[in-house]
Homo-oligomer: A and B are copies of this chain.
Protein backbone atom coordinates (compact mmCIF):
# COMPACT_ATOMS: atom_id res chain seq x y z
CA UNK A 1 0.00 0.00 0.00
CA UNK A 2 0.97 3.60 -0.51
CA UNK A 3 2.61 5.66 2.22
CA UNK A 4 0.48 6.71 5.20
CA UNK A 5 0.07 10.18 6.79
CA UNK A 6 -0.42 12.00 3.48
CA UNK A 7 -3.76 12.88 1.89
CA UNK A 8 -5.57 9.78 0.62
CA UNK A 9 -7.75 9.79 -2.48
CA UNK A 10 -10.99 7.82 -2.79
CA UNK A 11 -12.60 7.22 -6.17
CA UNK A 12 -16.24 6.10 -6.20
CA UNK A 13 -17.25 4.75 -9.62
CA UNK A 14 -21.00 4.78 -10.19
CA UNK A 15 -23.42 7.30 -8.62
CA UNK A 16 -26.55 5.14 -8.47
CA UNK A 17 -28.88 4.65 -5.50
CA UNK A 18 -26.27 3.01 -3.25
CA UNK A 19 -23.90 5.96 -3.54
CA UNK A 20 -25.89 8.24 -1.20
CA UNK A 21 -25.16 6.49 2.09
CA UNK A 22 -21.59 5.69 1.07
CA UNK A 23 -20.72 9.29 0.16
CA UNK A 24 -22.28 10.74 3.31
CA UNK A 25 -20.39 8.21 5.48
CA UNK A 26 -17.04 8.96 3.81
CA UNK A 27 -17.54 12.73 3.80
CA UNK A 28 -18.21 12.67 7.51
CA UNK A 29 -14.86 10.94 8.12
CA UNK A 30 -12.87 12.79 5.46
CA UNK A 31 -11.69 15.84 7.37
CA UNK A 32 -10.23 13.89 10.30
CA UNK A 33 -8.60 11.42 7.90
CA UNK A 34 -7.42 13.89 5.26
CA UNK A 35 -9.36 12.14 2.48
CA UNK A 36 -10.19 13.57 -0.94
CA UNK A 37 -13.30 12.05 -2.49
CA UNK A 38 -14.16 11.85 -6.21
CA UNK A 39 -17.51 10.56 -7.46
CA UNK A 40 -17.46 9.42 -11.10
CA UNK A 41 -20.37 8.41 -13.26
CA UNK A 42 -21.09 8.14 -16.95
CA UNK A 43 -23.62 10.90 -16.27
CA UNK A 44 -21.90 13.94 -14.77
CA UNK A 45 -25.36 15.22 -13.81
CA UNK A 46 -25.98 12.16 -11.64
CA UNK A 47 -22.56 12.50 -9.98
CA UNK A 48 -23.28 16.17 -9.27
CA UNK A 49 -26.72 15.42 -7.85
CA UNK A 50 -25.23 12.98 -5.37
CA UNK A 51 -22.44 15.38 -4.28
CA UNK A 52 -24.28 18.74 -4.35
CA UNK A 53 -24.39 18.90 -0.54
CA UNK A 54 -20.62 18.36 -0.25
CA UNK A 55 -18.50 21.16 -1.76
CA UNK A 56 -15.25 19.29 -1.11
CA UNK A 57 -16.28 16.26 -3.12
CA UNK A 58 -15.31 16.26 -6.79
CA UNK A 59 -17.90 15.05 -9.30
CA UNK A 60 -16.68 13.92 -12.70
CA UNK A 61 -18.08 12.18 -15.74
CA UNK A 62 -16.37 8.90 -16.51
CA UNK A 63 -17.23 6.29 -19.10
CA UNK A 64 -16.00 2.96 -17.68
CA UNK A 65 -15.19 1.89 -21.24
CA UNK A 66 -12.85 4.86 -21.74
CA UNK A 67 -9.73 2.94 -20.72
CA UNK A 68 -7.30 5.86 -20.87
CA UNK A 69 -9.24 8.20 -18.57
CA UNK A 70 -10.33 5.31 -16.35
CA UNK A 71 -6.77 4.12 -15.87
CA UNK A 72 -5.59 7.64 -15.08
CA UNK A 73 -8.27 8.23 -12.45
CA UNK A 74 -7.68 4.83 -10.84
CA UNK A 75 -3.89 5.28 -10.76
CA UNK A 76 -4.41 8.63 -9.08
CA UNK A 77 -6.52 7.09 -6.28
CA UNK A 78 -5.54 5.12 -3.17
CA UNK A 79 -8.78 3.18 -3.22
CA UNK A 80 -11.65 2.62 -5.63
CA UNK A 81 -15.20 1.73 -4.64
CA UNK A 82 -16.89 0.11 -7.62
CA UNK A 83 -20.66 0.50 -7.77
CA UNK A 84 -20.85 -0.42 -11.47
CA UNK A 85 -22.64 -3.58 -12.68
CA UNK A 86 -20.66 -6.69 -11.64
CA UNK A 87 -19.41 -7.61 -15.14
CA UNK A 88 -17.64 -4.23 -15.39
CA UNK A 89 -15.61 -4.63 -12.15
CA UNK A 90 -12.92 -6.49 -14.03
CA UNK A 91 -11.89 -3.40 -16.02
CA UNK A 92 -11.24 -1.60 -12.74
CA UNK A 93 -9.40 -4.64 -11.33
CA UNK A 94 -6.78 -4.41 -14.06
CA UNK A 95 -6.31 -0.67 -13.52
CA UNK A 96 -6.05 -1.22 -9.76
CA UNK A 97 -3.27 -3.74 -10.31
CA UNK A 98 -1.45 -1.36 -12.64
CA UNK A 99 -1.84 1.58 -10.26
CA UNK A 100 -1.46 -0.38 -6.99
CA UNK A 101 -4.85 0.94 -5.94
CA UNK A 102 -7.12 -0.91 -3.49
CA UNK A 103 -10.66 -1.91 -4.50
CA UNK A 104 -13.92 -2.44 -2.62
CA UNK A 105 -17.14 -3.86 -4.12
CA UNK A 106 -20.45 -5.21 -2.81
CA UNK A 107 -20.57 -7.94 -5.46
CA UNK A 108 -19.97 -11.69 -5.34
CA UNK A 109 -16.40 -12.67 -6.19
CA UNK A 110 -16.64 -13.86 -9.79
CA UNK A 111 -14.51 -16.71 -11.16
CA UNK A 112 -12.71 -14.03 -13.19
CA UNK A 113 -12.06 -11.86 -10.11
CA UNK A 114 -10.77 -14.88 -8.18
CA UNK A 115 -7.97 -15.34 -10.69
CA UNK A 116 -6.40 -12.01 -9.71
CA UNK A 117 -5.85 -13.02 -6.08
CA UNK A 118 -2.17 -13.85 -6.52
CA UNK A 119 -1.37 -10.74 -8.56
CA UNK A 120 -3.19 -8.50 -6.09
CA UNK A 121 -1.41 -10.15 -3.13
CA UNK A 122 1.95 -9.67 -4.77
CA UNK A 123 1.11 -6.04 -5.53
CA UNK A 124 0.33 -5.64 -1.81
CA UNK A 125 -3.17 -4.38 -2.47
CA UNK A 126 -6.59 -5.39 -1.14
CA UNK A 127 -9.58 -6.25 -3.33
CA UNK A 128 -12.37 -6.50 -0.78
CA UNK A 129 -15.56 -7.90 -2.32
CA UNK A 130 -18.97 -8.97 -0.97
CA UNK A 131 -18.81 -5.95 1.35
CA UNK A 132 -22.49 -4.97 1.14
CA UNK A 133 -25.66 -6.35 2.68
CA UNK A 134 -26.12 -9.78 1.12
CA UNK A 135 -23.37 -10.65 0.37
CA UNK A 136 -21.66 -8.64 3.08
CA UNK A 137 -23.32 -8.12 6.42
CA UNK A 138 -24.60 -11.72 6.21
CA UNK A 139 -21.02 -13.07 6.10
CA UNK A 140 -20.00 -10.86 9.01
CA UNK A 141 -22.86 -11.86 11.27
CA UNK A 142 -22.43 -15.56 10.41
CA UNK A 143 -18.69 -15.43 11.16
CA UNK A 144 -19.33 -13.67 14.45
CA UNK A 145 -21.91 -16.29 15.52
CA UNK A 146 -19.71 -19.20 14.38
CA UNK A 147 -16.71 -17.81 16.23
CA UNK A 148 -18.71 -17.51 19.45
CA UNK A 149 -20.17 -21.03 19.20
CA UNK A 150 -16.74 -22.41 18.41
CA UNK A 151 -15.19 -20.62 21.41
CA UNK A 152 -17.81 -22.18 23.69
CA UNK A 153 -17.01 -25.63 22.31
CA UNK A 154 -20.21 -26.03 20.26
CA UNK A 155 -20.29 -28.16 17.14
CA UNK A 156 -22.26 -26.56 14.28
CA UNK A 157 -24.28 -28.91 12.06
CA UNK A 158 -26.75 -26.59 10.33
CA UNK A 159 -26.43 -23.15 8.77
CA UNK A 160 -29.29 -21.31 7.12
CA UNK A 161 -29.41 -17.72 6.07
CA UNK A 162 -32.12 -15.60 4.51
CA UNK A 163 -32.10 -12.20 2.89
CA UNK A 164 -34.69 -10.00 1.28
CA UNK A 165 -35.07 -6.56 -0.27
CA UNK A 166 -38.72 -5.82 0.47
CA UNK A 167 -41.02 -2.93 1.27
CA UNK A 168 -42.49 -1.82 4.61
CA UNK A 169 -46.00 -3.14 5.38
CA UNK A 170 -47.34 0.45 5.05
CA UNK A 171 -46.03 0.71 1.48
CA UNK A 172 -47.72 -2.50 0.43
CA UNK A 173 -50.60 -1.61 -1.87
CA UNK A 174 -50.58 -4.47 -4.39
CA UNK A 175 -51.52 -8.18 -4.34
CA UNK A 176 -47.89 -9.28 -4.63
CA UNK A 177 -46.62 -7.34 -1.58
CA UNK A 178 -43.58 -6.44 -3.64
CA UNK A 179 -41.99 -3.45 -5.37
CA UNK A 180 -38.76 -2.78 -7.21
CA UNK A 181 -36.10 -1.66 -4.73
CA UNK A 182 -33.12 -3.17 -6.58
CA UNK A 183 -32.07 -4.24 -10.11
CA UNK A 184 -35.37 -5.13 -11.83
CA UNK A 185 -33.86 -7.52 -14.40
CA UNK A 186 -32.38 -9.49 -11.49
CA UNK A 187 -35.91 -9.73 -10.09
CA UNK A 188 -37.26 -11.11 -13.38
CA UNK A 189 -34.39 -13.60 -13.75
CA UNK A 190 -34.20 -14.61 -10.06
CA UNK A 191 -33.75 -18.36 -9.74
CA UNK A 192 -32.75 -18.92 -13.36
CA UNK A 193 -29.30 -20.13 -12.33
CA UNK A 194 -30.92 -23.07 -10.48
CA UNK A 195 -30.19 -23.84 -6.81
CA UNK A 196 -27.95 -26.28 -4.96
CA UNK A 197 -27.93 -26.82 -1.21
CA UNK A 198 -27.35 -29.51 1.43
CA UNK A 199 -30.28 -31.03 3.31
CA UNK A 200 -29.83 -33.74 5.94
CA UNK A 201 -26.30 -34.36 4.71
CA UNK A 202 -27.39 -34.85 1.11
CA UNK A 203 -27.06 -32.74 -2.02
CA UNK A 204 -30.26 -31.12 -3.30
CA UNK A 205 -30.43 -29.62 -6.80
CA UNK A 206 -33.48 -27.56 -7.68
CA UNK A 207 -34.02 -26.67 -11.36
CA UNK A 208 -35.41 -23.23 -12.21
CA UNK A 209 -38.97 -24.37 -12.82
CA UNK A 210 -39.25 -25.83 -9.29
CA UNK A 211 -37.32 -23.18 -7.32
CA UNK A 212 -40.37 -21.07 -6.45
CA UNK A 213 -42.20 -24.20 -5.32
CA UNK A 214 -39.35 -25.36 -3.08
CA UNK A 215 -40.10 -22.75 -0.43
CA UNK A 216 -39.98 -22.63 3.33
CA UNK A 217 -41.60 -20.36 5.86
CA UNK A 218 -39.25 -18.15 7.90
CA UNK A 219 -40.38 -16.50 11.09
CA UNK A 220 -38.63 -13.19 11.65
CA UNK A 221 -39.07 -12.49 15.40
CA UNK A 222 -41.20 -9.40 15.85
CA UNK A 223 -41.89 -8.98 12.15
CA UNK A 224 -43.94 -12.02 11.18
CA UNK A 225 -43.59 -14.77 8.65
CA UNK A 226 -42.02 -14.68 5.19
CA UNK A 227 -41.43 -17.20 2.43
CA UNK A 228 -37.93 -18.18 1.25
CA UNK A 229 -36.83 -19.74 -2.05
CA UNK A 230 -33.32 -21.21 -2.41
CA UNK A 231 -30.37 -19.17 -3.78
CA UNK A 232 -28.08 -20.47 -6.49
CA UNK A 233 -25.07 -22.10 -4.79
CA UNK A 234 -25.27 -22.70 -1.05
CA UNK A 235 -23.00 -25.76 -1.18
CA UNK A 236 -19.83 -23.68 -1.51
CA UNK A 237 -20.39 -22.13 1.92
CA UNK A 238 -19.20 -25.34 3.58
CA UNK A 239 -15.79 -24.47 2.15
CA UNK A 240 -15.97 -20.69 2.65
CA UNK A 241 -16.91 -21.02 6.34
CA UNK A 242 -14.59 -24.05 6.74
CA UNK A 243 -17.37 -26.35 7.97
CA UNK A 244 -17.07 -29.37 5.61
CA UNK A 245 -19.37 -31.58 7.71
CA UNK A 246 -22.43 -29.33 7.82
CA UNK A 247 -25.60 -31.43 7.49
CA UNK A 248 -27.65 -28.46 6.32
CA UNK A 249 -26.43 -25.48 4.32
CA UNK A 250 -29.08 -23.26 2.83
CA UNK A 251 -29.27 -19.67 1.67
CA UNK A 252 -32.58 -18.26 0.56
CA UNK A 253 -34.28 -15.07 -0.59
CA UNK A 254 -37.34 -13.73 1.19
CA UNK A 255 -40.69 -12.72 -0.27
CA UNK A 256 -44.17 -12.06 1.12
CA UNK A 257 -46.05 -15.30 1.66
CA UNK A 258 -47.93 -16.22 -1.53
CA UNK A 259 -45.50 -14.41 -3.84
CA UNK A 260 -43.58 -17.54 -4.80
CA UNK A 261 -46.48 -19.73 -5.98
CA UNK A 262 -47.65 -16.91 -8.26
CA UNK A 263 -44.16 -16.17 -9.58
CA UNK A 264 -43.69 -19.89 -10.16
CA UNK A 265 -46.71 -19.74 -12.45
CA UNK A 266 -44.94 -17.14 -14.61
CA UNK A 267 -41.81 -19.32 -14.72
CA UNK A 268 -43.78 -22.46 -15.57
CA UNK A 269 -45.76 -20.76 -18.32
CA UNK A 270 -42.42 -19.60 -19.78
CA UNK A 271 -42.78 -15.83 -19.39
CA UNK A 272 -39.42 -15.26 -17.66
CA UNK A 273 -37.22 -16.78 -20.37
CA UNK A 274 -34.55 -14.50 -21.84
CA UNK A 275 -33.27 -16.77 -24.61
CA UNK A 276 -35.41 -15.92 -27.63
CA UNK A 277 -37.38 -13.08 -29.17
CA UNK A 278 -41.17 -13.25 -29.08
CA UNK A 279 -42.27 -13.09 -32.73
CA UNK A 280 -44.00 -9.81 -33.56
CA UNK A 281 -43.68 -8.59 -29.95
CA UNK A 282 -44.41 -5.00 -30.96
CA UNK A 283 -47.86 -5.65 -32.35
CA UNK A 284 -49.41 -8.41 -30.27
CA UNK A 285 -51.25 -7.88 -26.98
CA UNK A 286 -50.27 -9.24 -23.58
CA UNK A 287 -53.19 -11.64 -23.82
CA UNK A 288 -52.06 -12.94 -27.23
CA UNK A 289 -48.55 -13.37 -25.85
CA UNK A 290 -49.78 -15.36 -22.84
CA UNK A 291 -52.14 -17.36 -25.01
CA UNK A 292 -49.24 -18.56 -27.20
CA UNK A 293 -47.99 -20.67 -24.26
CA UNK A 294 -51.31 -22.27 -23.40
CA UNK A 295 -53.38 -25.02 -24.92
CA UNK A 296 -56.23 -23.27 -26.68
CA UNK A 297 -59.57 -24.96 -26.27
CA UNK A 298 -62.41 -23.93 -28.58
CA UNK A 299 -64.93 -21.67 -26.88
CA UNK A 300 -62.70 -21.10 -23.85
CA UNK A 301 -61.27 -17.71 -22.85
CA UNK A 302 -57.56 -17.15 -22.30
CA UNK A 303 -58.30 -16.88 -18.58
CA UNK A 304 -59.96 -20.31 -18.66
CA UNK A 305 -57.05 -21.79 -20.64
CA UNK A 306 -54.71 -20.28 -18.03
CA UNK A 307 -56.48 -21.67 -14.98
CA UNK A 308 -56.69 -25.06 -16.72
CA UNK A 309 -52.94 -25.01 -17.43
CA UNK A 310 -52.10 -24.03 -13.86
CA UNK A 311 -54.64 -26.36 -12.30
CA UNK A 312 -56.22 -23.55 -10.27
CA UNK A 313 -59.73 -22.17 -9.91
CA UNK A 314 -60.94 -18.74 -10.97
CA UNK A 315 -60.91 -17.70 -7.27
CA UNK A 316 -57.20 -18.48 -6.86
CA UNK A 317 -54.89 -15.83 -5.42
CA UNK A 318 -52.43 -16.86 -8.12
CA UNK A 319 -54.87 -15.80 -10.83
CA UNK A 320 -55.59 -12.57 -8.96
CA UNK A 321 -51.88 -11.71 -8.91
CA UNK A 322 -51.26 -12.63 -12.57
CA UNK A 323 -54.30 -10.71 -13.70
CA UNK A 324 -53.28 -7.63 -11.70
CA UNK A 325 -49.88 -7.72 -13.42
CA UNK A 326 -51.65 -7.23 -16.74
CA UNK A 327 -50.77 -10.39 -18.66
CA UNK A 328 -54.43 -10.92 -19.56
CA UNK A 329 -54.84 -7.38 -20.97
CA UNK A 330 -55.70 -6.65 -24.58
CA UNK A 331 -53.24 -3.74 -24.58
CA UNK A 332 -50.41 -4.00 -27.09
CA UNK A 333 -46.99 -4.93 -25.73
CA UNK A 334 -45.37 -2.30 -27.96
CA UNK A 335 -41.76 -3.50 -27.56
CA UNK A 336 -39.77 -4.32 -30.68
CA UNK A 337 -37.94 -7.68 -30.78
CA UNK A 338 -38.36 -8.29 -27.04
CA UNK A 339 -37.61 -11.50 -25.18
CA UNK A 340 -40.25 -12.79 -22.70
CA UNK A 341 -38.09 -11.51 -19.81
CA UNK A 342 -37.90 -8.06 -21.39
CA UNK A 343 -41.68 -7.93 -21.79
CA UNK A 344 -42.14 -8.93 -18.15
CA UNK A 345 -39.47 -6.44 -17.05
CA UNK A 346 -41.34 -3.65 -18.80
CA UNK A 347 -44.57 -4.71 -17.05
CA UNK A 348 -43.17 -4.92 -13.53
CA UNK A 349 -41.37 -1.60 -13.94
CA UNK A 350 -44.82 -0.05 -14.29
CA UNK A 351 -46.71 -2.25 -11.85
CA UNK A 352 -44.15 -2.64 -9.07
CA UNK A 353 -42.90 0.92 -9.24
CA UNK A 354 -41.35 2.13 -5.99
CA UNK A 355 -43.20 5.39 -5.40
CA UNK A 356 -42.16 8.69 -3.79
CA UNK A 357 -44.17 7.89 -0.66
CA UNK A 358 -42.84 4.32 -0.37
CA UNK A 359 -40.26 3.00 2.07
CA UNK A 360 -38.20 -0.11 1.54
CA UNK A 361 -37.21 -2.70 4.12
CA UNK A 362 -34.33 -5.16 4.14
CA UNK A 363 -34.22 -8.34 6.19
CA UNK A 364 -31.31 -10.62 7.00
CA UNK A 365 -31.64 -13.63 9.22
CA UNK A 366 -29.11 -16.30 10.11
CA UNK A 367 -30.12 -19.52 11.85
CA UNK A 368 -27.36 -21.77 13.16
CA UNK A 369 -27.89 -25.10 14.89
CA UNK A 370 -25.17 -26.73 16.99
CA UNK A 371 -24.49 -29.28 19.68
CA UNK A 372 -23.16 -27.99 22.97
CA UNK A 373 -22.63 -30.25 26.01
CA UNK A 374 -24.95 -32.98 24.59
CA UNK A 375 -27.72 -30.46 24.00
CA UNK A 376 -28.88 -29.07 20.69
CA UNK A 377 -29.31 -25.33 20.40
CA UNK A 378 -30.29 -22.89 17.73
CA UNK A 379 -29.30 -19.26 17.49
CA UNK A 380 -31.48 -16.95 15.40
CA UNK A 381 -29.90 -13.65 14.50
CA UNK A 382 -32.11 -11.09 12.72
CA UNK A 383 -31.64 -7.72 11.15
CA UNK A 384 -34.52 -5.60 9.90
CA UNK A 385 -33.79 -2.14 8.49
CA UNK A 386 -36.45 0.19 7.14
CA UNK A 387 -35.66 2.97 4.70
CA UNK A 388 -36.10 6.61 5.73
CA UNK A 389 -37.78 7.65 2.51
CA UNK A 390 -37.73 7.25 -1.29
CA UNK A 391 -34.12 8.41 -1.63
CA UNK A 392 -32.61 7.25 1.64
CA UNK A 393 -33.46 3.59 1.32
CA UNK A 394 -32.57 0.74 3.64
CA UNK A 395 -30.96 -0.95 0.64
CA UNK A 396 -28.65 2.02 -0.05
CA UNK A 397 -27.79 2.28 3.65
CA UNK A 398 -27.09 -1.40 4.27
CA UNK A 399 -24.99 -1.72 1.12
CA UNK A 400 -23.32 1.71 1.24
CA UNK A 401 -22.28 1.74 4.91
CA UNK A 402 -20.34 -1.58 4.84
CA UNK A 403 -18.56 -0.31 1.72
CA UNK A 404 -17.65 2.90 3.56
CA UNK A 405 -16.47 0.98 6.60
CA UNK A 406 -14.34 -1.20 4.32
CA UNK A 407 -12.70 1.91 2.86
CA UNK A 408 -12.04 3.29 6.34
CA UNK A 409 -10.46 0.03 7.54
CA UNK A 410 -8.23 -0.25 4.48
CA UNK A 411 -7.08 3.38 4.36
CA UNK A 412 -6.27 3.26 8.08
CA UNK A 413 -4.19 0.09 7.56
CA UNK A 414 -6.35 -2.03 9.84
CA UNK A 415 -6.35 -5.14 7.64
CA UNK A 416 -3.50 -7.61 7.39
CA UNK A 417 -4.96 -9.62 4.46
CA UNK A 418 -3.99 -8.82 0.88
CA UNK A 419 -5.39 -9.96 -2.45
CA UNK A 420 -9.01 -10.83 -3.33
CA UNK A 421 -10.88 -11.22 -0.01
CA UNK A 422 -14.37 -11.20 1.49
CA UNK A 423 -15.34 -10.04 5.01
CA UNK A 424 -14.96 -13.37 6.81
CA UNK A 425 -11.79 -12.23 8.60
CA UNK A 426 -12.00 -11.12 12.20
CA UNK A 427 -10.13 -7.84 11.57
CA UNK A 428 -12.89 -6.89 9.15
CA UNK A 429 -16.12 -8.24 10.64
CA UNK A 430 -15.47 -7.32 14.28
CA UNK A 431 -14.93 -3.58 13.82
CA UNK A 432 -17.45 -3.44 10.95
CA UNK A 433 -20.30 -5.00 12.94
CA UNK A 434 -19.47 -2.79 15.90
CA UNK A 435 -19.61 0.36 13.79
CA UNK A 436 -22.78 -0.77 11.96
CA UNK A 437 -24.48 -1.28 15.33
CA UNK A 438 -23.49 2.26 16.33
CA UNK A 439 -25.09 3.43 13.08
CA UNK A 440 -28.32 1.59 13.99
CA UNK A 441 -27.74 -1.52 11.89
CA UNK A 442 -27.83 -4.10 14.64
CA UNK A 443 -28.85 -7.74 14.81
CA UNK A 444 -31.21 -9.16 17.43
CA UNK A 445 -30.09 -12.51 18.77
CA UNK A 446 -32.18 -15.26 20.29
CA UNK A 447 -30.98 -18.69 21.38
CA UNK A 448 -33.39 -21.58 21.88
CA UNK A 449 -32.90 -25.16 22.92
CA UNK A 450 -33.91 -27.75 20.30
CA UNK A 451 -35.92 -30.54 21.93
Beta-carbon contact of B203 and A276 below 8 Å: no
Q: Which residues of B contact A258 (CB under 8 A)?
A: none
Nearest opposing residue in chain B for A204, CB measure: B292
Q: Which of B203, B235, B275, B276 contacts A288 (CB 8 A)?
A: B203
What are the interface flags for A199-236 relative to B under an 8 Å C-beta threshold, 1 for contact and 0 otherwise? 00011111101000000000000000000000011011
Knowing A193-B276, A233-B276, A276-B233 are in contact, say whether A292-B209 is a contact too (CB < 8 A): no
Asked if A241 is an interface residue, CB under 8 A from chain B, the answer is no
Most buried by B among A203, A209, A235, A293: A203
Q: Which residues of B contact A284 (CB under 8 A)?
A: 203
Count of identical protomers in the assembly: 2
Beta-carbon contact of A278 and B193 below 8 Å: no
A141 to B370, CA, bound (A): 70
Q: Which residues of B contact A135 (CB under 8 A)?
A: none
Chain A contact residues: over half helix, strand or loop, or mixed?
Answer: loop
Beta-carbon contact of B296 and A202 below 8 Å: yes
Asked if A291 is an interface residue, CB under 8 A from chain B, the answer is yes
Instruction: Give min CB distance, A114 to chain B, whole Å.
Output: 14
Instruction: Give min CB distance, A287 to chain B, whole Å.
Output: 12
Asked if A196 is an interface residue, CB under 8 A from chain B, the answer is yes
What are the interface flags for A277-296 relative to B under an 8 Å C-beta threshold, 1 for contact and 0 otherwise? 01110001000100111001
Q: Which of B196, B202, B205, B276 contacts A196 (CB 8 A)?
A: B276
Q: Which residues of B contact A292 (CB under 8 A)?
A: 196, 202-205
Q: Which residues of B contact A329 (CB under 8 A)?
A: none
Q: Which residues of B contact A269 (CB under 8 A)?
A: 207
Q: Which of B203, B207, B270, B275 contacts A279 (CB 8 A)?
A: B203
Nearest opposing residue in chain B for A269, CB measure: B207
Asked if A194 is an interface residue, CB under 8 A from chain B, the answer is yes
A203 to B287, CA, bound (A): 12
Asked if A304 is an interface residue, CB under 8 A from chain B, the answer is no
What are the interface flags for A17-46 relative to B under an 8 Å C-beta threshold, 1 for contact and 0 otherwise? 000000000000000000000000000000
Nearest opposing residue in chain B for A210, CB measure: B270
Beta-carbon contact of B279 and A235 below 8 Å: yes
Q: Which residues of B contact A275 (CB under 8 A)?
A: 192-194
Beta-carbon contact of A205 and B235 below 8 Å: no
Instruction: Give min CB distance, A254 to chain B, whole Å.
Output: 22
What are the interface flags for A51-65 relative to B under an 8 Å C-beta threshold, 1 for contact and 0 otherwise? 000000000000000
Beta-carbon contact of A207 and B291 below 8 Å: no
Q: Which residues of B contact A435 (CB under 8 A)?
A: none
A206 to B194, CA, bound (A): 20
Beta-carbon contact of B293 and A207 below 8 Å: yes
Instruction: Give min CB distance, A309 to chain B, whole Å.
Output: 10
Beta-carbon contact of B296 and A196 below 8 Å: no
A269 to B210, CA, bound (A): 10
Instruction: Give min CB distance, A308 to chain B, whole Å.
Output: 14
Knowing A232-B276, A235-B279, A275-B194 are in contact, say whether A270-B205 is a contact too (CB < 8 A): yes
Instruction: Give min CB distance, A298 to chain B, whole Å.
Output: 10
A-B contact pairs, 8 of them (CB 8 A): A193-B276, A194-B273, A196-B278, A202-B291, A206-B270, A206-B293, A207-B293, A236-B279
Hey, which bits of chain A sit against chain B, CB under 8 A? 192-194, 196, 202-207, 209, 232-233, 235-236, 269-270, 273, 275-276, 278-280, 284, 288, 291-293, 296
Closest 6 CB pairs of A and B: A207-B270, A203-B292, A205-B292, A235-B279, A205-B293, A194-B276
